[in-house]
Structure 1
Amino acid sequence: MKRFPLPLLLALVLPCAPAFANESISKVNGSIHATSGQAYGDLETVNGGITVDEDTETADIQTVNGGIKIGDRARTRGISTVNGSIRVGQKVEIDGDLETVNGSIFTDRGTRIDGSMETVNGGIGLVETRLSKGIETVNGDITVGIGSVVEGGIHVNKPNFSLSLGPGRKPRVIVGPNAAVNGPLQFDREVTLYVHRSAHIGPVTGATPVPFDTDAAPND
């Protein structure tokens, strides 16, 4: 039997092999689906949503017109969209910022984020989440839910009408049971601020905290 040299065999086999782990995906039109248990580089599209399954690792995730969904126990870097929401499952590790303009952000139990959260026209909600670099919004409601810890504070900016699409309503800011905001809470516009009696917050500028001791904040 004739034997082929190893380099020749590799040259014949590798072009037909599956894509290497950590490969980036970039599109203009179309959604992206990162499958469970795999490792990827950057995931980028313009017109389409991005879904990352549980137990998946990626680099940066970015779209313009589409939502982003991150499964349980995934590991990612920064996540951003313009017109879409960001949904993060349980026990996710994110090494970067979460940003959207016209969309909301929600993170579930056990998630750790080494970065900040920012929206313009979208609400922000955390449940048992640790965030290292603060929250910023213009028109969005904020709920620092039960057991969550936010380092770096909260900043609600004055509306810029060239960017802001929301009506002239007051945002609701809630710091829930056993939650903490370890940093200044600065409000450059009128808001309604509710703080649970078991929560801890830093100094407040521009609002008067309203204490509550029920499971949920009062309805306005």
Structure 2
Amino acid sequence: MSPALVLPLALALAAPALAAQDVDKVNGSITVEAGQEAGDLSTVNGSIKIGAGARTGKAETVNGSISVAENVTAGGLETVNGSIRVSGKGKLSSGLETVNGGIFVDRGGDVRGDIETVNGAIGLVDTDLSGGITTVNGDVTVGVDSHVKGGIHYTKPSQSWFSFNQRDPKVIIGPNAVVDGPLVFERKVELYVHSSAKTGPITGASAVRFDGATPPGQ
């Protein structure tokens, strides 16, 4: 190799890779295209969409939903008024949180944190959750082959939260699902546990066992 090329090549190899750029808005949606990289994503009034195979930092919005396509690697996802949906094989290095919005993680999901909501439903299918699930009024389905390592906790609703949901929440632990740690219910729920599922100790509710694909009456 020519000596004139040695120094530029050495400098290029030693230079650190450029950090992925953050995206910060107040009004407007954010889209990360398939296969792209980005830093943290933040908006106030707008949705966030992350395309298939993309890599990002955490994503946060106030009034908007967060949609994650297949095979995405991202940080935590958080919204106040909006849903969170993670498609297959999503890998999230932190937890998921909403106030008024559902959370769904599809097959192959790997969430390294907790899932928290106040009024939204939570659904997992073949998903590993390293933390636990905390909610007040939302239904919870720990679906087929899912593993929740941190237990489930329903906190007692204050009087102001009762208006959001007049019926008792339904909690379903599906076929071959595992919930390590305690299941603690500070309010009345309907709890259904599949005969093939495994759970930690249950406090505040009585489990109804079922054998089919869905609980009785579903």
Q: Say whether the fold is shared (TM-score over 0.5).
A: yes
8 A contact 1:156–1:186 mirrored in 2:
yes
Residue 173 of structure 1 corresponds to 171
Residue 161 of structure 1 corresponds to 159
Instruction: Give deviations 1:54-111, integer Å, cap 9, x for gaps.
Output: 1000001000000000010000011000000000000010000100000000000001
Instruction: Give deviations 1:25-47, integer Å, cap 9, x for gaps.
Output: 01110000001111100100000
In structure 2, the gaps of 5 or more residues are: 1-17
1:110-189 → structure 2 map (5 Å cutoff): 110-162=108-160, 165-189=163-187
2:99 aligned with 1:101: yes
Aligned residue-pair number: 201
In structure 1, the gaps of 5 or more residues are: 1-19
Deviation at 1:217, TM superposition (A): 1.3
8 A contact 1:21–1:38 mirrored in 2:
no
1:72-111 → structure 2 map (5 Å cutoff): 72-111=70-109
Distance 1:204 1:148, change over 3 A: same
Instruction: Give deviations 1:153-193, integer Å, cap 9, x for gaps.
Output: 00011112345651231000000000000110000000000
1:207 match: secondary structure:
coil
Give the distance between the partners of 2:182 and 2:171, measured in 1 at CA.
14
2:215 aligned with 1:217: yes
Residue 16 of structure 1 corresponds to none
Give the distance between the partners of 1:60 and 1:86, measured in 2 at CA.
13
- One-letter amino acid of the structure 2 residue matched with residue 218 of structure 1: P
Residue 12 of structure 1 corresponds to none
| Percent identity of equivalent pairs | 53
2:42 aligned with 1:44: yes
8 A contact 1:121–1:165 mirrored in 2:
no
- One-letter amino acid of the structure 1 residue matched with residue 118 of structure 2: V
Residue 64 of structure 2 corresponds to 66
Residue 201 of structure 1 corresponds to 199
Give the distance between the partners of 1:178 and 1:96, measured in 2 at CA.
25
8 A contact 1:121–1:164 mirrored in 2:
no
TM-score, length-scaled by structure 1:
0.89
Residue 7 of structure 2 corresponds to none
Residue 13 of structure 2 corresponds to none
Q: CA RMSD in A?
A: 1.2
TM-score, length-scaled by structure 2:
0.90
